[in-house]
Amino acid sequence: MSNKFTEDDFRWMKQAIELADRGRGYVAPNPLVGCIIVSSEGNVVGEGFHERYGQAHAEINAINSVRDKSELIDATMYVTLEPCSHTGKTPSCAKEILDLPLKRIVIGMQDPNPLVNGEGVAILKKSNRFKVETGCMEREVRRQNEAFVHYMRFQKPFVTLKIAQTVDGYVAAPDGNSKWISCEESRKKVHEWRSYYDAVMVGRNTAQIDNPNLTVRHVEGRQPRRIVIDGDLSLPANLNVFTDQHEQKTIVLTHNKEKYEQTADPMLQLLKSDYFRGETVLVSKKEGHTDLNHAMELLGEMQITSILVEAGSQLASAMIKDNVVDKLHVFIAPKLLGGGTRSLLGVGRDRMEDILDLHDANWEQVGSDMLLTGYF
């Protein structure tokens, strides 16, 4: 961290980061952004965050929240992400800021969106009206917007794989039952995560055996889209994800071209009583299964920026092997099964030299479980 920032700068930026987080689950494909305006006397006189996709940006909400505009004279604006330079669904924030009598603007990180990418900072600096400094708590801001940063860079969703296993590494008993390995608090946390991600993904066996809803129920929050990989397109039509009130939010990925073309024919669909109102997407086939890399490309084109995968061992292993996972969450419950389905069935590593090392790994306790989080 650069020493151009003071303890106060870090304190206000931390507050702006916390504010930004209130938009989580509601702003994608836009980033989370928070903004605090601190008067020359050191008081917070304005604050705002990006609340909903398509609505006002954090800086504009913060400016509008200032009751006495004279407090803006010589004030400092703390904003987690570079103010935008382009006019999109809302006007350019950098241009709106130009009219303010501020003294200093402290920015968390440059906006990686190619439409901005330094241009907002350039507009502000060129005006010669305020001191503009970028990089305050950049690491924290980057982590907060990990999905957005990834999507901007690769145009593919940021993928988090969640596994709940016993101490001895099993995700299901020998009879296939996996309810419940993790504790209630962990399951609640998963519901919270679901509300933050654009979509939740499962494979066909999990969809069939568990018949999950994949909805947000244990906490308040936005319902994500649901992605089911059904390579052969043969899952029963009466599963919850195909029939409940969120049916239209379900996306089925298949590599079966013949059956896919039937689903795309409106006349054939009208004849069916169990007509599926969600979306079916044709993906290439790889070694007999749905090609996961191609799937991610197509989902990126559909503006899905983040996916939480709640996989069984086949899908979890294939995703790691095919290098499509960015972040891993493993709940380890203080329970033993001594047999059943292992969490992973091989990820293509045979030698210690090839071991997959997670970076930025950390542990926390959730109820009676241990939660490991790390990055690939």
Among 144, 160, 206, 215, binds ligand NAP (CB under 6 A): 206
Q: Tell me the CA distances in angstroms from 181 to 168, 170, 217, 228, one per residue in order.
A: 12, 9, 19, 22
Nearer to ligand NAP, 12 or 170 (CB): 170
Is residue 178 classed as helix, strand or coil in its secondary structure?
A: coil
The answer to whether the CB of 83 falls within 8 A of the CB of 97 is: yes
| Helix orientation angle between 7-20 and 58-65, rounded to the nearest 10 degrees | 110
d(CA 108, CA 58): 13
- Taking the C-alpha atoms of residue 204 and residue 317, their distance in angstroms, rounded to an integer, is 14
**Minimum separation from the CB atom of position 264 to ligand NAP (A):** 19
Q: Which of 292, 296, 328, 333 is close enough to bind ligand NAP by CB under 6 A?
A: 292
178 near ligand NAP (CB under 6 A): yes
State yes or no: residue 163 binds ligand NAP (CB under 6 A). Answer: yes
Closest to ligand NAP by CB, 109 vs 316, is 316
Give the active site residues: 59
Work out whether 325 is an interface residue with ligand NAP (CB under 6 A).
no
Element (H, E) at 185: helix 184-196
SS3 23: helix
* Residue 188 dihedral angles phi and psi, to the nearest 5°: -65, -40
| 289: contact with ligand NAP by CB under 6 A | yes
Residue with tokens 């601190």: 38
Nearer to ligand NAP, 107 or 183 (CB): 183
Q: Is residue 176 a contact residue for ligand NAP (CB under 6 A)? A: yes
- Does residue 231 interact with ligand NAP by CB under 6 A? yes
Closer residue to ligand NAP, CB minimum distance, 84 or 172:
172
* Contact stretch for ligand NAP (CB under 6 A) within 13-21, 107-115, 164-172, 355-363: 164-172
Residue 290 near ligand NAP by CB under 6 A: yes
Cβ of 316: how many Cβ atoms within 10 Å? 25
Of 307, 25, 323, 306, whose CA–CA distance to 148 is shortest? 306
User: What is the contact mask toward ligand NAP in residues 107 to 146, using x (rule: CB under 6 A)?
Assistant: ----------------------------------------
CA distance 106 to 80: 8
Where does this chain bind ligand NAP (CB under 6 A)? 163-164, 171-172, 176, 178, 181, 202-206, 209-210, 229-231, 255, 287, 289-290, 292, 310-315, 318, 341
